[in-house]
């Protein structure tokens, strides 16, 4: 199984480089250093790729590495130029040395802020590596073969959209949206399709392999880098055990990225959400809820103890007393530049992440409002009245803007969509606490660790925003999963009121909380191991030995007691979608792949393939190279497609159907007894494209276990 993944290594590496290197270069130009430069890289890279798609029609003419290079050069130049101008305006060009040249100044600044690995920087990188390895293992075990397509009906649209970008060279959202084949199409977030198209075309693999490789790059590189960077800011005194626990939680919690990589094939969503932790951190910096430099007091509780129990040496304790910074800081130019460019990239990946970012904006606004009231009370009644009036005005404007969203038809279409509620809100609370949904098993151990980590942070004032965020995300999941109320529509409608999409947000806060809980549990168990060894066995263990035994036990015991709770649960979620175990109907079987490969030479170039999307016929273009007539289910197909979908069997006798087939350039039609979801209502729209075994004018050219491919004969229009 492992050897079969060799084919995906090249596109996975290309995707990872595209998602990291451009952003890293821009960040270095901005002056970021250390783990900041790398942790912010995925978010910045999304912005580089997004701007590259805008430059295609005016600069390079076709989607390629050239467009990415031009975008990278442009943004890097703006980053460096802005940094120089700001330094000059603020007098940071060493005024006591007026003869210092700009070139020498840049050189000295670069040397002063070059990458200087620190002890914890190595730990953070190791944490990212652990998460990447866990995600890779889950992909290998879950997908099993990188050449296997996702067995979901939405996957067909995404594959065809990627092929459309490759064939046309146009990466814009309107072109990607048109790949659905509908008569009237809207802009669709293009960035995932553009990234997959680039990785696939550069390495020569088909889009199935490319999509699987990009999936790992997102889940194993973008997500850990972004999440671990945020945690490095939250926990500046983190111990090695805590950093490793962070990597474990990043790779093991199934709510993200595995749900988004399987349920509904929400690939664009997962690309955008994977960079959300970084965007959240920058937003909190803008709101002054997080310092731009790791603060010595950030993870210190009211008793002066680190949140994860880290023992502070004299230097660290002195830094806490002074409130000093304990790591490199980010300039406002870096925060604002990366924030703006990154949010643009997130929008092009999928706007849902920007609405999710709004959660922290609202929470930050509430917390700042509370701080303003407390500050005003201390300064007298007059100041309090002014502050309350200012808050009333500000929140009135905010509520007005919220109400104005109902005037946007496209947004209303999303917010009015309501997934059926299948549980009570109390049941949803239980699932949220155990980090699970209806399609994933409960993480009892990690759920308990999250609750315990939450308790540990109650005494850390500077991290209250994290606790408030976690509670609010759980509340959102309860509304999405168990309520059809007006409030549910208002708060969760941005994600189609879909419990799975909302659940994918919970790890944004659960990962650091679970890591703290794991560390605290290991400490407690380590003390118990030490006492038992000393009092019962008569052997004294060092604190490190006892902690090591405790940590090993915490890894082994849950696997024995709850064998389905391990780090491979993500593989089970992925396998469920790649084998379609829920419905036992495959969109594409192995024998059908062979039929589609043969179809490449069985009909002339330029002819298209017809078939119901419920049978998986839209996947045929991946292997045959022939475009498909119906790339996705849609309620507003073009007239010719609507006609042939219902009346294809009469093409030899009905001149209108015959004329439609000629306009569509149909050369072959696929019929398959194995159809996706027997109860799917959309199947009725394609009633004329099934059960074709005795249709006049058709010649069988390929037989599979359940599928037959027919050559469409001549007809008179």
Domain coordinates of the chain in residue numbers?
3-499, 590-712
Determine the average pLDDT of the residues in 431-451.
Answer: 92
Nearest to 512 by CA among 281, 213, 264: 281
* Bridge pairing between strands 698-703 and 666-672: unpaired
717: three-class secondary structure by DSSP: coil
Tell whether the model's pLDDT for residue 567 goes beyond 80.
no
Categorize the per-residue pLDDT at 681 as very low, low, confident or very high, splitting at 50, 70 and 90: low
Q: Is residue 554 scored above 70 in pLDDT?
A: yes
584 contacts 706 by C-beta, under 8 angstroms: no
C-beta separation of 543 from 530 below 8 A: yes
Phi first, then psi: give them for residue 278, nearest 5 degrees. -65, -45
pLDDT reported for residue 320:
85
Q: CB of 214 within 8 A of CB of 159?
A: no
pLDDT in tens, 57-79: 888 889 999 999 999 999 999 99
Residue 499, both tokens: 């419990």
Burial category of 441 from C-beta neighbours within 10 Å (exposed 0-12, middle 13-18, buried 19 and up): middle
Give me the phi and psi of 325, to 5 degrees please.
-75, 145
Asked if the model's pLDDT at residue 88 lies above 80, the reply is yes
Question: Percentage of residues in the chain with pLDDT exceeding 90?
Answer: 67
> 368 vs 91, which has greater pLDDT?
368
Q: Is the pLDDT of residue 100 over 50?
A: no
Instruction: Decide if pLDDT at 680 tops 80.
Output: no
- Residue whose token pair is 């048109």: 178
Structure tokens at 362: 């609202």
Of the ranges 345-349, 444-448, 546-550, the best mean pLDDT one: 345-349
Cross-strand pairs, 423 = none
Average pLDDT over residues 303-327: 84
Tokens representing 662 are 């000629």
- Which residues are 615's β-sheet partners? none
Residue 295's pLDDT band (cuts 50, 70, 90): confident
Tokens of 566: 């391990």
What pLDDT, in 10s, does the model give residues 525-547? 888 888 888 777 777 787 888 88
Asked if residue 176 has a cis previous peptide bond (ω within 30° of 0), the answer is: no
The first and second tokens of residue 232, run together, are: 């490095």
Mean pLDDT of the residues in the chain: 89
pLDDT at 95 over 70: no
Average pLDDT over residues 307-317: 84
Q: Is the pLDDT of residue 520 over 60?
A: yes
pLDDT-derived band at 114 (thresholds 50, 70, 90) equals very low
Instruction: Label residue 195 by pLDDT band (50, 70, 90).
Output: very high
Q: How far is Cα 141 from Cα 121, in angstroms, rounded to an integer?
A: 30
> What is the DSSP pairing of strand 608-611 with strand 698-703?
unpaired
Q: Is the pLDDT of residue 115 over 80?
A: no
Kindly state the average pLDDT of the residues 67-96: 85
For residue 672, what are the β-bridge partners? 707
pLDDT tens profile 21-34:
999 999 999 999 88
How far, in Å, are 18, 57, 68, 370 from residue 60 at the CA level? Answer: 18, 7, 10, 51
Average pLDDT over residues 317-339: 89
Distance (Å, rounded) from C-alpha 480 to C-alpha 468?
18
pLDDT band at 97 (very low <50, low <70, confident <90, very high): very low
- pLDDT greater than 60 at residue 580: yes
How far are the Cα atoms of 204, 625, 631, 665, 668 from residue 600, in angstroms, in the given order? 17, 6, 17, 15, 11
Highest mean pLDDT range out of 248-262, 278-292, 570-584?
Answer: 278-292
pLDDT of residue 284: 96
Per-residue pLDDT, 264: 56
Strand 608-611 versus strand 666-672 pairing type: parallel
Q: Scan for tokens 């940590």, then name that residue.
A: 551
Question: What average pLDDT does range 207-214 have in this prediction?
Answer: 96
pLDDT at 260: 87
- Terminus-to-terminus CA distance in the chain, angstroms? 52
Rounded to an integer, the average pLDDT of 341-346 is 98
User: What kind and span of H or E run contains 501?
Assistant: helix 499-503
Q: What does the alpha-carbon distance between residue 521 and residue 707 come to, in Å, rounded to a whole number?
A: 55
Task: Report residue 113's pLDDT band, with 50, 70 and 90 as the boundaries.
Answer: very low
> Is the pLDDT at 110 greater than 60, yes or no?
no
Q: Quick check: 434 and 447 in contact, CB under 8 A?
A: yes
Query: Locate tokens 């350039």: which residue?
Result: 665
Mean pLDDT of the 694-708 span: 93
Cα–Cα distance measured from residue 565 to residue 572, given in angstroms and rounded to the nearest whole number: 11
Q: What is the dihedral of CA 327, 246, 350, 137, to 10 degrees?
A: 130
pLDDT digits (tens, 9 = 90+) for 137-178: 999 988 989 999 998 888 999 999 999 999 999 999 999 999
Nearest to 483 by CA among 439, 415, 420: 420
97: left (phi over 0), alpha (psi -120 to 50) or beta: beta
Q: Identify the pLDDT of residue 575.
A: 86
Higher model confidence: residue 89 or residue 620? Answer: 620
198, 191 Cβ separation under 8 angstroms: no
The residue-averaged pLDDT of 90-96 equals 56
* Positive or negative torsion for Cα 581, 224, 125, 22: positive
Tokens of 672: 């398959």
User: Which SS3 state, helix, strand or coil, does residue 241 take?
Assistant: helix
Q: Is the distance from CB of 341 to CB of 44 less than 8 angstroms?
A: yes
Alpha carbons 568 and 138: distance in angstroms, whole number: 6
CB atoms within 10 A of CB 153: 20
- For residue 120, what pLDDT is reported? 83
The pLDDT value recorded for residue 601 is 94
């Amino acid at each position: 199984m492992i050897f079969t993944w060799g084919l995906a290594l090249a596109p996975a590496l290309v995707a990872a480089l595209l998602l990291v290197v451009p952003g890293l270069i821009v960040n270095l130009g901005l002056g970021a250093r250390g783990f900041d430069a790398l942790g912010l890289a995925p978010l910045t890279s999304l912005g580089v790729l997004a701007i590259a798609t805008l430059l295609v029609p005016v600069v390079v003419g076709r989607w390629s590495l050239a467009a990415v290079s031009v975008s990278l050069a442009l943004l890097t130049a703006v980053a460096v130029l802005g940094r120089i101008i700001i330094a000059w305006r603020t007098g940071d060009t060493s005024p006591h040395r007026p003869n210092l040249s700009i070139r020498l100044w840049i050189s000295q600044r670069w040397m002063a802020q070059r990458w200087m690995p620190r002890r914890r920087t190595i730990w953070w990188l190791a944490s990212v590596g652990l998460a990447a390895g866990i995600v890779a293992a889950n992909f290998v075990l879950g997908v099993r073969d990188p050449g296997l397509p996702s067995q979901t009906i939405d996957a067909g649209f995404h594959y065809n959209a990627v092929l459309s970008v490759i064939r046309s060279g146009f990466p814009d959202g309107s072109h990607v949206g048109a790949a659905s084949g509908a008569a009237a199409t809207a802009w669709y977030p293009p960035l995932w399709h553009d990234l997959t198209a680039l990785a696939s075309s550069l390495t020569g693999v088909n889009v199935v392999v490319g999509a699987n490789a990009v999936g790992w790059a997102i889940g194993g590189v973008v997500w850990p880098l972004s999440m671990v960077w945020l945690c490095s800011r939250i926990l500046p005194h983190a111990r090695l055990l805590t950093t490793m626990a962070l990597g474990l939680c990043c790779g093991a919690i199934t709510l993200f990225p595995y749900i988004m990589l399987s349920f509904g094939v929400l690939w664009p969503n997962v690309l955008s959400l994977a960079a959300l932790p970084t965007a959240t951190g920058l937003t909190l910096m803008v709101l002054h809820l997080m310092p731009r430099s790791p603060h010595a007091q950030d993870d210190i509780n009211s008793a002066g103890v680190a949140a994860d129990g880290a023992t502070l040496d004299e230097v660290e304790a002195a830094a806490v007393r002074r409130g000093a910074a304990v790591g490199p800081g980010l300039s406002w130019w870096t925060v604002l530049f990366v924030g703006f460019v990154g949010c643009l990239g997130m929008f092009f990946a999928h706007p849902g992440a920007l609405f999710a970012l709004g959660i922290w904006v609202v929470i930050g606004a509430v917390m700042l409002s509370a701080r303003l009231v407390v500050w005003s009370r201390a300064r007298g009644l007059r100041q309090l009245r002014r502050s309350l009036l200012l808050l009333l005005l500000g929140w009135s404007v905010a509520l007005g803007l919220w109400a104005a969203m109902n005037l946007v038809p496209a947004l209303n279409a999303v917010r009015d969509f309501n997934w059926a509620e299948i549980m009570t809100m109390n049941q949803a609370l239980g699932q949220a606490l155990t980090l699970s949904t209806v399609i994933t098993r409960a993480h009892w151990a990690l759920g308990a660790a999250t609750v315990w980590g939450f308790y540990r942070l109650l005494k850390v004032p500077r991290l209250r925003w994290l606790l408030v965020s976690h509670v609010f995300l759980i509340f959102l999941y309860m509304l999405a999963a168990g309520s059809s109320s007006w409030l549910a529509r208002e708060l969760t409608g941005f994600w189609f009121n879909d419990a799975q999409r909302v659940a994918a947000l919970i790890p944004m806060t659960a990962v650091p909380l679970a890591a703290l809980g794991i560390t605290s549990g290991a400490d407690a168990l380590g003390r118990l191991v030490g006492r038992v060894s000393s009092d019962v066995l008569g052997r004294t263990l060092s604190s490190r030995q006892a902690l090591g035994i405790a940590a090993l036990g915490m890894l082994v015991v849950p696997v024995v007691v709850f064998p389905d709770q391990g780090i491979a649960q993500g593989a089970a979620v992925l396998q469920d979608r790649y084998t379609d175990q829920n419905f036992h109907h495959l969109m594409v079987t192995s024998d059908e792949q062979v039929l589609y490969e043969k179809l490449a030479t069985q009909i002339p170039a330029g002819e298209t393939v017809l078939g119901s999307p419920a049978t998986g016929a839209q996947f045929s273009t991946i292997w045959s190279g022939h475009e498909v007539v119906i790339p996705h289910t849609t309620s507003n197909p073009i007239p010719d497609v609507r006609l042939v979908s219902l009346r294809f069997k009469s093409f030899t006798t009905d001149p209108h159907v015959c004329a439609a087939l000629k306009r569509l350039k149909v050369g072959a039609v696929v019929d398959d007894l194995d159809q996706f979801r027997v109860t799917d209502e959309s199947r009725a729209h394609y009633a004329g494209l099934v059960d074709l075994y005795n249709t006049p004018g058709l010649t069988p050219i390929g037989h599979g276990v359940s599928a037959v491919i027919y050559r469409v004969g001549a007809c008179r229009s």
